[in-house]
Amino acid sequence: MRKKIIAGNWKMNYCVNKGVDFVEEIKERIDTDKIDVVICPNFVALDRIFDAIEGTNIYLGAQNVYFETSGAYTGETSVDMLTAVGVKYCIVGHSERRKYFHETDEMVNQKVKKLLEKDVSPIICVGETLEERDASKHFDIVEEQVTKALKDIHKDLVSKKIVIAYEPIWAIGTGVTATAEQANEMCKFIRGVVAKLYTTSVADCVRIQYGGSVKPSNANEILNMSDIDGALVGGASLTNDFVAIVNYES
């Protein structure tokens, strides 16, 4: 039985004090008994948010990482820097990073490998554009992203540590949500891709989230689908809506 995982991707929102205040406000109301909850603030807020969630079962996540160990990479952040402040999960290959910062599938794969070396769980984002879906290319696109992200990753690490987030780009920040059926169909397809790359038992262990305009009004339906093991929440993770999503009715 896969444990659900709901992560809040704050993106480039909340300066540190505001972020700490927000976490203080919601942390006692978040029910972590049955699901893993992850909060992903910006880099400079990680340390203080870690202090704010101490004593709860909420995990700290980062939004990005660089794949080199250390050195002359101005502006980048290494895995060791993340683990030093308590990071347990890290979003990789978000569509905004692919679009604005030209991240490729190969870079995503390097980041995944580096995170796994240090026992951090990657949350690998995949998803198609509207044009790709309209052209019926969405399955091919997602299969390629998943396959490349997992290249040369050992099956034991895949089953124990990898989280995949299906985030159709047309549903991110648009208010348009994929229907629960569309989301489940793709999450199931991704599980099939993992089974093809590894085995069915590995695929059965991998947690696959849906992300894209998840809100309290659609969370119950989405989170109760057979192949959706959680959500990656953007805008709604910045408000009390996050509490309602995490405490959805299962």
> Nearest distance from residue 70's CB to ligand 13P, in Å?
28
The answer to the question of residue 168 lying near ligand 13P (CB under 6 A) is no
Rounded-to-integer distance, Cα 5 and Cα 109, Å: 22
Rounded-to-integer distance, Cα 213 and Cα 9, Å: 12
126 vs 214 by CB, closer to ligand 13P: 214
Q: Mask 111-130, x = binds ligand 13P (CB under 6 A)?
A: --------------------
Q: Which of 28, 94, 132, 143 is catalytic?
A: 94
The answer to the question of residue 61 lying near ligand 13P (CB under 6 A) is no
The first and second tokens of residue 236, run together, are 């709604």
Query: Tokens 């009390």 label which residue?
Result: 240
Question: Between residue 171 and residue 200, which ones bind ligand 13P under the rule CB under 6 A?
Answer: 172-173
Active site residue 181: no
Active site residue 94: yes
Rounded-to-integer distance, Cα 52 and Cα 21, Å: 9
C-beta of residue 38 within 8 angstroms of C-beta of residue 14: no
> Nearest distance from residue 230's CB to ligand 13P, in Å?
12
The first and second tokens of residue 113, run together, are 């490998």
> Nearest distance from residue 222's CB to ligand 13P, in Å?
11
152: number of Cβ within 10 Å: 7
Q: What angle do CA 195, 201, 207 make, to 5 degrees?
A: 75
The answer to the question of residue 235 lying near ligand 13P (CB under 6 A) is yes
- Total residues binding ligand 13P (CB under 6 A): 14
> Nearest distance from residue 101's CB to ligand 13P, in Å?
14
Binding site for ligand 13P (CB under 6 A): 9, 94, 167, 172-173, 211-214, 232-236
User: Looking at the annotation, which residues are catalytic?
Assistant: 94, 167
